[in-house]
A and B are shown apart, each in its own frame.
Chain A
Amino acid sequence: MYGNLANKLILDAKRSSNLSETPLYQTDLVKSIIKETTDLNKDAEYLGEEQRIQEEDSENADEEKMKINQCQLFVTHLCMRRNKRCLLAYEKLRADKIDEFSWLNIDPITETGNTDPNKNKFGSTGNGSNSLVSNSANYTTQLNLDNLNHAEQEYYKNYQHLITNYKSNFADIDLSGDLDPPTNIFTDVRVLKNGGEVQTEYGVFNLIKDSQFYVRKSDVERLIQQGYLEEI
């Protein structure tokens, strides 16, 4: 029945809406929905043609037939519209997830094959700490570029440009920073993974795993977001 495929797509979207990553783009499903819509479009064109012919020789028109024709045309249009809505909803959800991720300032995972295992642990680090990444059950914290289709990758790049441009207007405020309200100025942080020397604006840290620092919170916010540090 028409609309079943689109329904499948929507179910998939619903399932993935609370995940912390964007799942694989359903290329085949989308393709088949588009194919179905094209077929429907052909039908609609044919029916429209029929209608015009019937209207032209109106003297021996069959009232019944015209009504049937109109009904067919209407239903075909409805099916197409429904497909369109489902496709748009799916794309919008994915776009929103990409937007959410871009504000986080974390590098996306590029190749599934040879990422170091730590990279995949974004979002699972920190137990109950207040970092942006960990206290958010349904927050997009991972983005695998391989899971996006080409247009989405393009969108992601452009959206990042937009963010950068926008942020350049507010030099002294880090708009993509932590969304938790500030509580204390200084904080204890523990290093979760080796990062070598990290240069912040205020000095140099040497990130050695399991060492602890007592630092200004504003210096390390970025590192907490990226999962190198956890707050104690």
Chain B
Amino acid sequence: MVLPAHLQNSLMPSEVSFLAENEYITILPRYSMKKLELIGTKVPTLRGMRREKIPIWIAVILKSQDKCNIVPPEWLNLIYLKEKYEEELKQPHKFSVLPWNWLEISKILLNKAADDLSDPTHQLRSIIQDLREIRLVKSRKGLKELNESNIQLDGLSLLEINELRPFVLTVMNKLRQLHESVNTKTDRGTGNDQDDDMYHDVSDNE
């Protein structure tokens, strides 16, 4: 692998948000536009004031040229997020279900399309920050439960999993190695004339 070390085993935040930009979002075009045939995604013919679903990255470009309004997703409003926050408080051992890319999408929309959102941005920002923090605390607490065989991450979003990944993977691997070394295996091949056979290398590629 020629990739630099920091790219090899986890995604960069910029890559995560790049992936999030492929999600579809509803827009209200202000102009008509012929349809685009892109690789993998098709942008339908846009007509003024007709709602269409297009990928976020195109929506952001159109938005920056003032050619459309972005309809915020149904989860990006104060009421919904407050509800989720309450839910987080009620269940100290579970993560409430949020969209897979909620952090990135809300960040993109708050930066690029703040005027289309239904609630004032500072309130949205603060509730998102609260949600993020309470979930962080929970995931930190959950790390106490790390073992060598399984981990339960339901309800976590891609970015949150990405933050945990380097630490959790290394720890779980170490635990697994220790665990395996205790369970002595008798069926190991021995006495080969190969160099590598002497030193059982237990480094796995994830």
Residues of A within 8 A of B (CB): 81, 84-85, 99-100, 103, 130, 136-139, 179-183, 185
Contacts and interface: CB of A to CB of B under 8 A. Distances in A.
A181 B61 contact: no
* Interface residue SS majority, chain A: loop
B15 interface: yes
B38 interface: no
Contacts of B5: 138-139
Contact of B2 (A100, A138, A182, A185): A100
A179 B61 contact: no
Given A81-B195, A81-B198, A185-B61, A136 B4 contact: yes
B7 interface: yes
Nearest to A18: B5
A185 B18 CA distance: 14
Contacts of A137: 6
B175 to A, nearest CB: 24
B39 interface: no
A100 B14 CA distance: 21
Contact of B6 (A99, A103, A138): A138
A164 B121 CA distance: 49
Given A81-B195, A81-B198, A181 B4 contact: no
The size bracket of the interface on B is 10 to 19
A189 to B, nearest CB: 18
Pairs of residues from A and B, 10 with the lowest C-beta to C-beta distance, nearest first: A181-B18, A139-B4, A99-B2, A103-B2, A181-B14, A136-B4, A181-B15, A180-B14, A138-B5, A100-B2
A85 B12 CA distance: 33
A136 B14 CA distance: 14
Nearest to B196: A85
Interface of B: 2-7, 12, 14-15, 17-18, 61, 195, 198
Given A100-B4, A139-B6, 12 more contacts: A81-B195, A81-B198, A103-B2, A136-B4, A136-B6, A137-B6, A138-B5, A139-B4, A179-B4, A179-B7, A181-B15, A182-B18
A81 B15 CA distance: 42
A14 to B, nearest CB: 14
B149 to A, nearest CB: 31
A76 to B, nearest CB: 14
A136 B8 CA distance: 13
A181 B6 CA distance: 15
Contact of B3 (A85, A179, A180): A179
Contacts of A100: 2, 4
Nearest to A101: B2
Nearest to B4: A139
A160 to B, nearest CB: 13
A116 to B, nearest CB: 27
16 contacts: A81-B195, A81-B198, A85-B195, A100-B2, A100-B4, A136-B4, A137-B6, A138-B4, A138-B5, A139-B5, A139-B6, A179-B4, A179-B7, A180-B12, A181-B15, A181-B18
Contacts of B61: 185
B95 to A, nearest CB: 27
B113 to A, nearest CB: 15
Contacts of B12: 180
Contacts of B18: 181-183
A206 B84 CA distance: 54
A85 B194 CA distance: 13
Contacts of B14: 130, 180-181, 183
